[in-house]
Amino acid sequence: MSADTRVVFAGVTFNNPVVAASGTFGFGREYSEYYDLSELGGICTKGLTLAPRLGNPPPRIAETPMGMLNSVGLQNPGVEEFIRYELPFMRRFDTRVIANIAGESAAEYAAMAERLSDAGVDMIEVNVSCPNVKNGGLQFGVSAAAVAEVTREVRRRANVPVMVKLSPNVTDITEMARAAESEGADAVSLINTLLGMRIDIKTRRPVLANNTGGLSGAAVLPVALRMIWQTRQAVRIPILGMGGITTGADAVEALLAGASLVGVGTASFSYPEAALSIRDGIAEYMNQNKIGSVSELTGSVILN
């Protein structure tokens, strides 16, 4: 029996369950020199904003044991340049294009969602780990009311499925997932990076110019699995699970915990073909265990 790795996720068919995570893959140009991007289930673009952004000053990347910290600051060319220059390139490949958007107000998110869905992306990923300028800079993602507001406004304006990317830097991630679902989100993705810090003991200063940054990489996998599992119990909409997935076995764990798709991020920095290796690892596990479809794995963990 040959494993069927296709996944129908929020009404969209993916050729396989592996998606390149936002912020780690750019728009795919650099990775396309290593392999055919059609081999991926999908690509989440780097975070897009209405206007171009230069991002934070360097240093803005730091290695950590089993991972990395980043404080890039959403450097990107802006929505219109993406539509004009990057989207046509991404559309050359037989893979799903998921536009990750970041805004400073619910109205900004909604405007971007409408423009991008009209331009022909397959799905919108709403990054709520952004400061809400109308609420003193507090991140949207740490308030259920703010998550609900953004989701509601984006859902009203988008004509493609909407997925909300949840922050792990909260007391209860299921509260945020329920808020997104209640206002029409078609899916959620999690986890975004954990807030972290490194200090140079010679200078006694933080390694990153922004002092703190987002922690990703293999070290966060157990946290991600716990939050995916919790969220699966709380909502009915599907989950794109990510956070520390480095091997096919890691991806299978995320699927068992409740994910329908898996995102590969930091692993691609050290091994550009990581996503393909992980895809093949999932298929191998399915064949070895006589599992016919990826959907049979989703949420099938057997609890003690």
User: How many angstroms separate the CA atoms of 30 and 25, rounded?
Assistant: 8
Q: Both tokens of residue 130?
A: 């952004």
Q: Cβ(25)–Cβ(268) under 8 Å?
A: yes
Q: Which of 258, 254, 123, 239 is nearest to 190 (CA)?
A: 239
Q: 196: part of which helix (H) or strand (E)?
A: strand 194-196
User: How many angstroms separate the CA atoms of 20 and 263, rounded?
Assistant: 6
User: How many angstroms separate the CA atoms of 157 and 188, rounded?
Assistant: 18
User: How many angstroms separate the CA atoms of 264 and 225, rounded?
Assistant: 14
Q: What is the DSSP string of 23-92?
A: TSSTTSTTGGGTS-GGGSSEEEPSPB-SS-B--PPSP-EEEETTEEEE-----B--HHHIIIIIHHHHTT
Going by their DSSP bridges, the two strands 7-9 and 12-14 should be labelled as: antiparallel
Q: Which of 196, 179, 188, 114 is nearest to 140 (CA)?
A: 179
130 catalytic residue (yes or no): yes
Per annotation, catalytic residue among 12, 102, 130, 261: 130
Residues labelled as active-site residues: 130
